């Protein structure tokens, strides 16, 4: 989890993200070793958690000072810290999925440089539409300066409000602009999805409704991964 809000951490661990203070992805990157910070969620899923102190990541990069007052300097390309950290465990997993904050930042840059493939999330709105070219440029930068030959695997249209005509228009516009990248699956706003953060994945009577659209996306995603 590379988002300092820690929402993914709380959803998967069922614990407040602040329970992972000094036991998170931030400390893993400062020590360039994630192994003692990995939290097993179940047999097939492990989590490298985040909390709000991840917001101090840029300050640590440029000053070498941690939020605890320790002096730990990183020598090298500051965009490659996460990549170097994950190198210790890449062979232990079939896939490593990185959740990023909804903005370009040092966390996002590190996530891109550590990734072979990127799924671009597109909310059907004007602000998101205008931001897509800049994000695509950031992926190109990660490919040039990183070591993973980072590529866009696809664009997923999400948080789509079927009641809004402008959302339909932006769906069509992004498909016209990026016909080879856009996934056919469109994730629409549904109450069961919104309540996942409340009910979680265990004993959730709405789980099938919440995940139906994502199952279609998963099939498309894996077909593209296997085709590369």
Q: How far apart are CA 129 and CA 126, in angstroms?
A: 5
How do beta strands 151-160 and 182-188 pair? parallel
Task: Give the pLDDT confidence score for residue 70 in this predicted structure.
Answer: 94
Q: For the segment 107-140, what is each residue's pLDDT rounded down to a tens digit?
A: 999 999 999 999 999 998 889 999 999 999 999 9
> Is the predicted pLDDT of residue 27 greater than 90, yes or no?
yes
CB-side neighbour CA atoms (13 Å) of 30: 27
Question: What predicted TM-score, i.e. pTM, was given to this entire model?
Answer: 0.93
> Is the predicted pLDDT of residue 34 greater than 90, yes or no?
yes
The helix/strand/coil state of 173 is: helix
Measured CA to CA in angstroms, residue 180 lies from 74, 154, 196 at distances of: 39, 8, 31
Task: Give the pLDDT confidence score for residue 81 in this predicted structure.
Answer: 98
Kindly report the average pLDDT of the chain as a whole number: 94
Mean pLDDT on 203-219: 93
Task: Give the pLDDT confidence score for residue 165 in this predicted structure.
Answer: 82
Instruction: Work out the number of other CB atoms within 10 angstroms of the CB of residue 156.
Output: 19
């Amino acid at each position: 989890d590379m988002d300092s809000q820690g929402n993914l951490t709380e959803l998967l661990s069922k614990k407040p993200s602040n329970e992972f203070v000094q036991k998170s992805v931030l400390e893993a990157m400062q020590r360039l070793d994630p192994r003692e910070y990995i939290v097993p969620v179940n047999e097939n899923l492990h989590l490298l958690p985040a909390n709000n102190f991840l917001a101090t990541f840029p300050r640590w990069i440029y000053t070498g000072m941690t939020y605890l007052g320790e002096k730990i300097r990183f020598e090298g390309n500051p965009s490659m810290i996460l990549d170097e950290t994950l190198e210790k465990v890449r062979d232990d997993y079939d896939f490593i999925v990185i959740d990023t904050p909804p903005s370009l930042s040092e966390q996002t840059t590190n996530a891109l440089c550590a990734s072979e493939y990127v799924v671009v999330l597109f909310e059907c709105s004007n602000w998101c539409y205008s931001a897509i070219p800049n994000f695509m440029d950031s992926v190109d930068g990660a490919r040039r300066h990183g070591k993973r030959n980072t590529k866009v695997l696809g664009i997923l249209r999400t948080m789509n409000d079927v009641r809004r005509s402008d959302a339909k228009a932006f769906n069509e516009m992004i498909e016209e602009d990026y016909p080879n990248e856009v996934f056919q699956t469109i994730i629409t706003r549904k109450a069961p999805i919104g309540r996942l953060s409340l009910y979680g994945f265990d004993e959730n009577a709405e789980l099938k409704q919440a995940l139906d659209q994502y199952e279609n996306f998963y099939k498309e995603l894996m077909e593209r991964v296997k085709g590369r």
